[in-house]
Amino acid sequence: MKNFHPARKRVEVFVGESVRILRELQELNQTQLSELTGIPQATISAIENGRVNLGVERAKVLAHALKCHPAVLVFPGWEVPLDAVA
């Protein structure tokens, strides 16, 4: 692992943006994600646009539908110190 160089951070990603990015990577529209989660499409739109807080319970439901860990959605800008990486 001595040749490991962490990627440079290019853009700041916010919570709503992380939801939108993962949704789009899986080629889902907001209506489809709404059907998978039971969260109204208007609420998903509001989360993605930063008008509504994600919250832990919504993060769990969305993470399950988007096949990721909830922390990916809740802490998109989290940085782990290099010495803590396994």
Domain positions in the chain are: 15-75
**Global pTM?**
0.77
Q: Which residue has the tokens 């782990």?
A: 80
- What CATH architecture is 15-75? Orthogonal Bundle (1.10)
Q: Is 49 helix (H, G, I), strand (E, B) or coil?
A: coil
- Nearest CA-CA partner of 52 in 12, 13, 19: 19
pLDDT at 31 over 60: yes
Half-sphere exposure of 37 (CA within 13 A, CB side): 26
* Alpha carbon distance 79, 86 (integer Å): 14
Q: How confident is the model at residue 85 (pLDDT cuts 50, 70, 90)?
A: low
Q: How confident is the model at residue 76 (pLDDT cuts 50, 70, 90)?
A: confident
State pLDDT tens for residues 17-27.
999 999 999 99
**What is the arithmetic mean of pLDDT over 38-56?**
96
Query: What percent of the chain clears pLDDT 70, i.e. is strictly above it?
Result: 83
* Alpha carbon distance 69, 43 (integer Å): 20
